Chain A
Amino acid sequence: MSASNFLLANLGAEVAIPPDIREHLALHGERLEHDRAVPRPDEPVALELRGIDLSFGGVVALQGVDLAVRHGEIRAIIGPNGAGKSSLINVISGVYRPDRGHVAIDGRAYRPVPTQKLARLGVARTFQNLALFKGLSVLDNVAAGRAYVGRSNFLSQIAGLPRARREQADARERAGRIIDFLHLTPYADRLAGTLPYGLQKRVELARALAAEPRILLLDEPMAGMTATEKNELADYVRLARDEYAITVVLIEHDIGVVMGLSDRIAVLDYGRKIADGTPQEIASDQRVIDAYLGVPPENEDGEGI
């Protein structure tokens, strides 16, 4: 373990370090990687998929997929285009209803996952194609992540009754903190639709974090980014995990970023899970090399949600 990582880990355990300093340390320390504690095998399972089958008409998207994600883990799902990665995230978030199998969140099984209650179950996600509210400011977009908490009705909001005002102030304050954390403060008042792509991706991450989820699903958070932006975002994801103790499920094409970022990796190919293990295990798995690592890079933007 490098000195600065050691320092960071120790400091983090005892005192609250401002996020920007933490980030600074993380950037300048050796880029973390696997000497950092992989969540122990005895950590409870936060999210579990059992025997998920999904097909569209005759096209099989997922077939008998099992996946167990432990608390506090950064779990990557990789695979070639069309392997079913996004479908998997959509099944977990209830956008798709699986034909067979179920999703268990904190031990409770669902089929399908109730999308409307997702945020209350402690799950937040981002989308492969940007899904921001273009007509709202960055701050309002991030504050929208708190929508599931609101109890006040529109009349009390119009009248500005104490509860409505408290809710609004609370949402904005939490959103403000996340915006600080992800260094989006200069853009807080800009309309989300006017920001460059990389920043919009980060705003989406902020919106998801604002919900204070226990499980965070990231559907290609780095697609279309430059290498620098990717590393930056990877650092943010790691920091968010450490700071808020969340479990992260991440889909990403860039194998380099994934290897450095994740604790464990599941590999999909043609809708089946062909490998599951630590980055080292995955890197040396012959089936993975055949199915994925051996092929040239894909057209990243060419596929739909």
Chain B
Amino acid sequence: MSAVTADFSLPFSLPRYAGTVAVLAIAYLIVPFVGTSYLFEAILLPFLALSLAGVGLNLLTGYAGQVSLGSAAFMAVGAFAAYNFNLRVDGLPLLVSIVLAGLSAAVIGIVFGLPSLRLRGFYLAVSTLAAQFFVQWALTKFSWFSNDSASGVIDAPVLSLAGISFEGPVGRYFFALTIVAVLTFLSYRLVSSQTGRNFIAVRDNETAARIIGVPVLRTKLLAFAISSFIIGVAGVIWAFAYLRTVEPAGFNLDRSFQILFIVIIGGLASIRGAFFGAALIVVFPLILSRLGAFLLGDVFDSGVLDMTQRIVLGALIILFLILEPDGLVSLWDRLRSRVTAAIRRA
């Protein structure tokens, strides 16, 4: 299936991972030195967190075929779990808190994934809404989760991994980038393994999968667990590296839909797709607001901007579903093969 490469393929042959290495090299070696604080705070950090959430949801929805509208809930579980592990267990390394947060999200994911053993499609999507509402309610209702803060807001701790502390926008960017890169790599390993192929088998034909001996129930729950783990860690990045202070209301249904749109627009069952989708979702409102302010001046206030965003985004999604169901990633691949062909001819 789709590789993780997001590269400009050259007409002569390069190893398949060359593009990925190039992107990572730029991300680690060039971006930190040329980027402005605005680039990190407003674009790259949310992009990384949402990309990772998109990768997580794509494992569940794109690969294993189980629709979920609870992504934001799993992000919230991750964020609040990491906060509490870090707060309440003295001397627990941040990395361990993050892994435990992912595992907490995975457990919640399995619980809310149980209906998938009976339900499919829309019905499953509706049942995952339960996760969305329940988690948000629990985090608001029990102030223990936010250490009895009056507004339910939590503040991120100092980020340090293995003795290195990540401060400032650039530091937090490194922190997020490293976690995203590692988990994306592991996801790529997963989808190209037997388990990943079992996901696709369950998605494409559940009965046939059961008959050839794929453990369908276990595979579905595993998909929920792994997906929620990754989305939970994405929640930690969202809370600790990007926003620094979050409240349960920040992880509402809108966020779940946003992640689903990332997956649909980027391309289902494609790990690269999550990054394309997240880039569009993050950059598009900024472009729109600049463009609006430039064209319409003062009329284009934040209310109008918000509404325009929704309208244009809605239109985009409809267009994608009709014209390019395989998402940005297939658009990109076609463009690339055309460019490569043109270069070859020249």
Contacts and interface: CB of A to CB of B under 8 A. Distances in A.
A116 interface: yes
B205 A133 contact: yes
A195 to B, nearest CB: 14
A158 B213 contact: no
Interface in A95-153: 95, 115-120, 124-125, 127, 131-136, 140, 143-145, 147-150, 152-153
B71 interface: no
A118 B213 contact: yes
Interface in A67-99: 93-95
Nearest to B188: A158
B207 A131 contact: yes
Contact of A144 (B190, B212, B269): B212
Contacts of A131: 205, 207-208
Report, as a range, how many residues of chain B touch the other chain.
20 to 34
Nearest to B269: A135
A148 B222 CA distance: 17
B186 interface: yes
B204 A135 contact: yes
B115 to A, nearest CB: 20
Contacts of B76: none
Interface in B166-208: 186, 189-190, 193-195, 197-198, 200-201, 203-205, 207-208
Given A135-B269, A154-B190, A145 B204 contact: no
Contacts of B197: 133, 136, 140, 143-144
Contact of A132 (B1, B193, B204): B204
B211 interface: yes
Report, as a range, how many residues of chain A touch the other chain.
35 or more
Most buried by A among B195, B197, B213: B213
A267 B216 CA distance: 35
Given A119-B213, A125-B211, A132-B204, A152 B190 contact: no
B226 interface: yes
A185 interface: no
A149 B198 CA distance: 13
B contact face: mostly helix, strand, loop, or mixed: helix
B290 interface: no
A211 to B, nearest CB: 6
B223 to A, nearest CB: 10
A127 B194 contact: no
Interface in A183-212: 207, 211
Contacts of B201: 133, 136, 144, 147
B245 to A, nearest CB: 34
Contacts of B194: 147, 150, 152, 157, 164, 167-168, 171
B226 A147 contact: no
Contact of B226 (A119, A154, A168): A154
A160 interface: yes
A1 B98 CA distance: 74
Interface in B16-70: none
B268 to A, nearest CB: 9
B210 interface: yes
B157 interface: no
A117 B195 CA distance: 18
B200 A135 contact: yes
Contacts of B121: none
Contacts of A133: 197, 200-201, 204-205, 208-209
Contact of B190 (A143, A158, A171, A211): A158
Contacts of A159: 189
A147 B212 contact: yes
A164 B189 CA distance: 12
A155 to B, nearest CB: 9
A212 B223 CA distance: 28
B214 interface: yes
Most buried by A among B193, B200, B212, B215: B212
Contacts of B222: 154
Contacts of A145: 212
B184 to A, nearest CB: 12
A116 B210 contact: yes
A85 B190 CA distance: 40
A1 B39 CA distance: 82
Contacts of A207: 212
Nearest to A126: B208
Contact of A116 (B193, B203, B215): B215
Nearest to B226: A154
Nearest to A210: B212
A29 B197 CA distance: 41
Interface of A: 93-95, 115-120, 124-125, 127, 131-136, 140, 143-145, 147-150, 152-154, 157-160, 164, 167-168, 171, 207, 211
Given A115-B211, A144-B197, A158-B186, 9 more contacts: A132-B204, A133-B205, A145-B212, A147-B194, A147-B201, A154-B190, A157-B194, A164-B194, A207-B212
Interface of B: 1, 186, 189-190, 193-195, 197-198, 200-201, 203-205, 207-216, 222, 226, 269
Q: Which 10 A-B pairs have CB atoms at the shortest separation, nearest pair first?
A: A148-B213, A119-B213, A157-B193, A131-B208, A133-B204, A154-B195, A158-B189, A147-B214, A131-B205, A133-B201
26 contacts: A95-B207, A95-B211, A115-B210, A115-B211, A117-B213, A120-B213, A124-B211, A124-B212, A127-B208, A133-B197, A133-B204, A134-B204, A135-B1, A135-B269, A144-B201, A147-B198, A147-B213, A154-B190, A154-B195, A158-B189, A159-B189, A164-B193, A164-B194, A168-B194, A171-B194, A211-B213
